[in-house]
Amino acid sequence: MKKAALFIPCSVNLILPGIAVAADLVLKRLGVTTVYPDSQTCCGQMVYNKGFFDQAKSFARHFIQVFENFDAVVCPSGSCTAMVKHRYPTLFDDEPSMKKRAEILSTRIFEFSEYIVDVLKIEDTGAAFNGKVAYHESCHLNRDLGISAQPKALIRAAKGAQLVHMNNADQCCGFGGEFSVAYPDISNALVGSKVKCYLESGADILVLGEPGCLLNINGYLERNHPGKRAMHIAEFLAEQGEHHGC
Amino acid sequence: MDVKTESYVAEAKKELVNPSSRMFLDFFLPVLSAVREIGLSSFPDPQAAVERARAIRRQSVGRLGELLETFERNAMKAGAKVFWAKTAADANMYIRDLINRHKIPYVTKGKSMITEEMGLNDVLAKNGTPVYETDLGEFIIQLLEKPPFHIIGPAINIPTDEICRIFMERAGMENPTNDPVALGQAARDFLRDKFKHMQMGITGVNMAVAETGSIINVENEGNIRFNKSAPAIQVSVMSIEKIVASLDEALHMLRMLCRNGTGQKLTSYVTVDTGPRKTDEMDGPEELHIIIMDNGRSKIYENPKTREVLQCIRCGACINICPVFRQIGGYPYGWAYTGPIGKLLNPLLLGLDRTSDLYGACTLCNACKNVCPAGIDHPSMILYFRNRNMEQDQVLNGKGATFSERFFANTAGIAGSYPILWNTATTIGKTAVSRFGSGHPLVKAWTEKRAFPPMPKKTYRDIRKK
């Protein structure tokens, strides 16, 4: 029996808890016992990206302490995973003992779809979706963590789902955390062109693995193309019943 | 040239709805990125070629001082005059004095970003020396008095009717036309006359080869070759990082530069010059002046973190792939360099305090880093700039965090270590945003064009507790 600790990003905990519920459900269905360490707070990416490295360090210290005793930590976000996996070790260049702990944790943290495909060695999760699916290659999953084949394999294995090509699938949707509100004009233009590619793909649903992109794309869709929507891969895989697109 | 980096947001807003910029940005940039891929696929092992290029650039910058000295020695041995310019002003003054000493009536120029950085044209105009840009794109924007839109395609966004208008007004074209070939011919007719009587040509340098003292230029129009071969005096300006150790390395970097910039295996013209005309040679300048300009780069070099930026070969691949550039084009960057490399070079050369939107307006998508043949990690550098700005770095001119920014970060940092505090604070924050947030500028920035989902009653933490 595999055991994994869930690291639930702030955006999911506070705004989109359905993603965490779905991720938990899918993992349990695949025979994983999940633990939710109650003392988890935040990875600190928000202050880090703003340039406050020292403050990010105190988030990192707490995070490492909470999660370092688990063999596997699973997170339904590429950018939060990348923060822990790639940024934490660099934060402690002047503290060898913390750096070592950060590096060890860095080998134990997995993005949700990566964990299922690369660790559990499962592609068919028992999911079912009747329709065409486009996949948005979120930047930090795709380029920071190199995760692209895994989520697509999971989508292909879903019963009834047909993965279709989407132009510029790997171009940023324009979220970028604070970027989305600091530069709303550019951000809106970017999400507009992402949505255009989604609509042109002819897909019934847009699946992605990043809560930030999800908020951005769904926010734009709801205002401009009600009826069309994006879905987190955990929610997509949680679906097992008859589903007839959107 | 004027520094307009502080009007980034206003310029970006204009460009987002500028139809002629949109046309180029929406259609041509994805094409440029695609031809780059095709170009790279002509290597037996594209990834190996990229890795070799990254290693060459890293090593060239690592050996910068030694290679520059070797270059100087070999260039002088070949007969070139080498001038070390500490600042742009020093370089400009050297060129101005040369012009005045030889009583040069006008100069022609090949396309170069370094002379944009130096503001050479303005200095020469003040000296009363007419300057003719001979690259078609540079020629167009010089007439229009516009800054370059893109480092390798300075006028690529200008529609033909605007070119027609300005050519009739200022370049002696008689009959209106929108035919690109006819417009090109008009520029050619105008410039041929300047080439005929030219006495001094000024160019940039794509690469300087230490072992031979040669300078290399890449282009597609042949005007740089004209500027290097026809006049009696040739002046070529290079920044210190243009150096490579050997011809072998230079040739590999040439292959990378062309493929990454335009998707070509090689540009139409590549010129390698070693010294001025020898006594037994028919062509070439009588005098070759090579200006090696620092202009703040030693400072970039001294900092082991920022040194990497000097690895850039100005291919433009990062610009073409950048999602933000693809929306706003080159004007908002407000100075010589645009796109992701502009986000790094402009702040380093101008100071973090006046360029905060350049490294601020980035989604950290990593596309630039991914394509860079010189091995630059742009996102990491951007984060470093944000940090140095917040910490008021003296060398980089950081302006420091505002009181509220620092207060928020400090409070978050503390709360992040105490789960009870964190959960209370975020729950209050969540309630505040959903109940009273609609008037807050940050909330408005989101909700103007995008919906925000209704806040759920329970957090995942609450759900899990049951």
Contact A15 B458 (CB under 8 A): no
As a whole number of angstroms, the longest Cα–Cα distance in chain A is 55
Domain end, chosen from A118, A136, A160, is at: A118
B104 and B12 housed in the same domain? yes
What is the gyration radius of the CA atoms in chain B, in angstroms? 25
Q: Is B398 left (phi over 0), alpha (psi -120 to 50) or beta?
A: beta
A230-232 and A205-208: which strand pairing?
parallel
Q: Chain B residue with minimal CA distance to A185?
A: B13
Q: Which domain holds residue A161?
A: 124-238
Q: Is-contact B178 B365, C-beta < 8 A?
A: no
The reply to whether B223 falls in a domain is yes
Instruction: Tell me the pLDDT band of A244, cut-offs 50, 70 and 90.
Output: very low
Residues A165 and A148 in one domain: yes
Which residues of chain B are within 8 Å of residue A182 when distances are taken between CB atoms?
360-361, 445
Give the whole-angstrom CA distance, residue B87 versus residue B93: 10
- Examine residue A246 and state whether it is found in any structural domain, yes or no: no
- Looking at the fold, whether A52 and A98 belong to one and the same domain comes out as yes
Q: Which residue from B minimizes the CA distance to A143? A: B366
A chain contacts of residue B415, beta-carbon cutoff 8 Å: 41
Binary contact (B363, A172; C-beta < 8 A)? yes
Same domain (yes/no): A64, A37: yes
pLDDT tens readout for residues A94-125: 999 999 999 999 999 999 999 999 999 999 99
Indicate whether A245 pLDDT > 50: no
Last residue of a domain, one of B400, B423, B440: B400
pLDDT tens-place string over residues B306-345 = 999 999 999 999 999 999 999 999 999 999 999 999 999 9
CA-based nearest residue in chain B for residue A35: B464
Judged by CB atoms closer than 8 Å, whether chains meet at A219 and B16 is answered as no
- Using an 8 Å Cβ cutoff, are A158 and A131 in contact? no
**DSSP string spanning B312-341?**
-----HHHHH-HHHHHH-SGGG-SS--HHH
Residue B54 belongs to domain spanning: 1-139+199-400
Interface of B with A in 387-416 (CB under 8 A): 387-391, 401, 405-406, 409-410, 412-416
Give residue B137's identity as a one-letter amino acid code.
Answer: G
Residue B94: enclosing H or E segment and its boundaries?
A: helix B88-101
What total number of domains does chain B contain? 2
Contact B260, B317 (CB under 8 A): yes
pLDDT in tens, B276-306: 999 999 889 999 999 999 999 999 999 999 9
User: Cβ distance B289 to B234 under 8 Å?
Assistant: yes
Of A47, A183, A222, the CB nearest to B361: A183
Whether A77 and A29 share a structural domain: yes
Provide the mean pLDDT of chain B. 95
- CB-based contact (8 Å) between B286 and chain A? no
Which value, to the nearest 10 degrees, does the dihedral of the CA atoms of residues A197, A201, A203, A208 take?
Answer: -40
B55 & B131 share domain:
yes
Which residues lie across from A232 on neighbouring strands?
A208
Let me know whether A104 and A138 are in one domain. Answer: no
Out of A118, A133, A155, a domain closes at A118
CB B110 within 8 A of CB B228: yes
A238 to chain B, closest Cα gap in Å: 16
Residues A82 and A129 in one domain: no
- B232 and B105 belong to one structural domain: yes
pLDDT in tens, B367-395: 999 999 999 999 999 999 999 999 999 99
Q: Domain ends where: A98, A118, A138?
A: A118
**Distance between A228 CA and the closest CA of chain B, angstroms:** 13
Q: How many domains does chain A have?
A: 2
Rounded Cα gap, residues A33 and A55, in angstroms = 33
Would you tell me the crossing angle of helices B247-262 and B46-62 to the nearest 10 degrees? Answer: 120
At B23, the pLDDT band (50, 70, 90 cuts) reads confident
Of A21, A58, A223, the CB nearest to B450: A223
pTM assigned to the model: 0.96
Asked if residue A211 has pLDDT above 50, the reply is yes
The reply to whether B134 and B219 lie within a common domain is yes
CATH of the domain at A35: 3.40.50
Helices of type H across B119-245 = 120-126, 136-144, 160-170, 180-196, 223-229
**What CATH number is attached to the domain comprising B318?**
3.40.50.10420
For chain A, give the percent of residues with pLDDT over 90.
Answer: 97
> For residue A213, how many other CB atoms are within 10 A of its CB?
29
What is the four-CA torsion angle of B254, B256, B259, B262, rounded to 10 degrees? -70
Q: Which of residues 38-67 of B touch A (CB under 8 A)?
A: none
- Whether B94 and B206 map to the same domain: the answer is yes
